[in-house]
Amino acid sequence: SQTIHQWPATLVQPVGSPLSLECTVEGTSNPNLYWYRQAAGRGLQLLFYSVGIGQISSEVPQNLSASRPQDRQFILSSKKLLLSDSGFYLCAWSVKGTLVYFGPGTRLTVL
């Protein structure tokens, strides 16, 4: 069966520090991968999605970037965090336009 892992589960970082959140998927090949952010009390915002290795589409211009170095690995990064980057970050995967499955999420607090 397929599973999706995210780490860390929680993270507290100072403003201006770098960020790296990792997501890996098991049990499937060539999935679509997604990064969503959920700010406190708000809905889901799609940040990035990827349909293959090295292929990244950005939905919202911002302080973040994403990379997909391997088929089942998706990384969210920042060189310098802002206060507004605080939120709940969710990685997700799907098989080409069918069901989308979510990871457990990473709660990021920028102080």
Partner 1 sequence: GDSVTQMEGPVTLSEEAFLTINCTYTATGYPSLFWYVQYPGEGLQLLLKATKADDKGSNKGFEATYRKETTSFHLEKGSVQVSDSAVYFCALIIQGAQKLVFGQGTRLTINP
Asked if 46 touches partner 1 (CB under 8 A), the answer is yes
Distance separating alpha carbons of residues 16 and 18, to the nearest angstrom: 7
With respect to partner 1, which residue has the nearer C-beta, 15 or 66? 66
Token digits of residue 65: 């970037």
Distance separating alpha carbons of residues 63 and 35, to the nearest angstrom: 14
Cβ at position 80, least distance to partner 1 in Å: 27
Binding mask 60-79 for partner 1 (x = CB under 8 A): --------------------
With respect to partner 1, which residue has the nearer C-beta, 29 or 98? 98
Q: What angle do CA 44, 64, 49 make, to 5 degrees?
A: 55
Asked if 39 touches partner 1 (CB under 8 A), the answer is no
Asked if 44 touches partner 1 (CB under 8 A), the answer is yes
**Using CA atoms in the order 79, 85, 86, 89, what is the torsion angle rounded to 10 degrees?**
-90
The number of beta carbons lying within 10 Å of the beta carbon of residue 55 is: 11
Asked if 24 touches partner 1 (CB under 8 A), the answer is no
Question: Which residues of the shown chain bind partner 1 in the complex (CB under 8 A)?
Answer: 32, 34, 42-44, 46, 49, 51, 57, 90, 92, 94, 96-105
